Amino acid sequence: EIDNEIIKLLDKRFDVAKAIGEEKKKISKQVLDQSREQAILDKVDKLSSDEHSKYIQEIYKKIMEQSREYQGK
């Protein structure tokens, strides 16, 4: 059940990443936005429990890395 929800949310996130990537191409903006990614990681840190924060941040780093790759297609 949880895995199904995670997959649905990741699918949705990648759809949004694709749309953002297309807009960035139109305005010749780089795919990587380090300040935006850091803001997301800061939010993850605040929302996750201290016990899990380190692991969830690593997962988010990978999600953002893959999102950038997908946006660059």
Confidence band, pLDDT 50/70/90 cuts, at residue 72 = confident
d(CA 41, CA 59): 10
Q: What is the pLDDT of residue 26?
A: 93
pTM of the model: 0.87
d(CA 34, CA 43): 14
Q: What is the pLDDT of residue 65?
A: 96
Taking only the tens place, the pLDDT of each residue in 60-70 is 999 999 999 99
Taking only the tens place, the pLDDT of each residue in 18-35 is 999 999 999 999 999 999
d(CA 3, CA 49): 20
Q: What is the pLDDT of residue 69?
A: 93
57, pLDDT greater than 80: yes
